Amino acid sequence: MNSKAVFYHAGCSVCVSAEQKLLNIINPEINLEIVHLGERKEEIAEAEKIGVKSVPALVMDNTVLHINFGASLNEVKKS
């Protein structure tokens, strides 16, 4: 298995527990990249291009899974 996934978040406290649980069940063979958009704002444009509308979001191949609703990317830009 050589799958890659990217988990985008912005450190929102309400989501930390949920995020941790999700990360706990992901196959350890998956190449998982964690991107904190609040700290890496230069990555926001790329995330938007992929189709990320809100965080937390899990991206695999070209599929974006938006998880719950934390903060819109516009809110992250303003923070």
Number of residues that bind a second copy (CB under 8 A): 21
Coil, helix or strand at residue 37 = coil
Burial class (CB in 10 A: 0-12, 13-18, 19+), 11: middle
Question: Minimal distance in Å, beta carbon 59 to a second copy?
Answer: 10
The maximal CA–CA distance of the chain, rounded, in angstroms, is 38
> Does the footprint of a second copy cover residue 72 (CB under 8 A)?
no
Question: Minimal distance in Å, beta carbon 25 to a second copy?
Answer: 5
Q: Can you give the binding site for a second copy, defined by CB under 8 A?
A: 3, 5, 17-18, 21-22, 24-28, 30, 58, 60-61, 63, 65-69
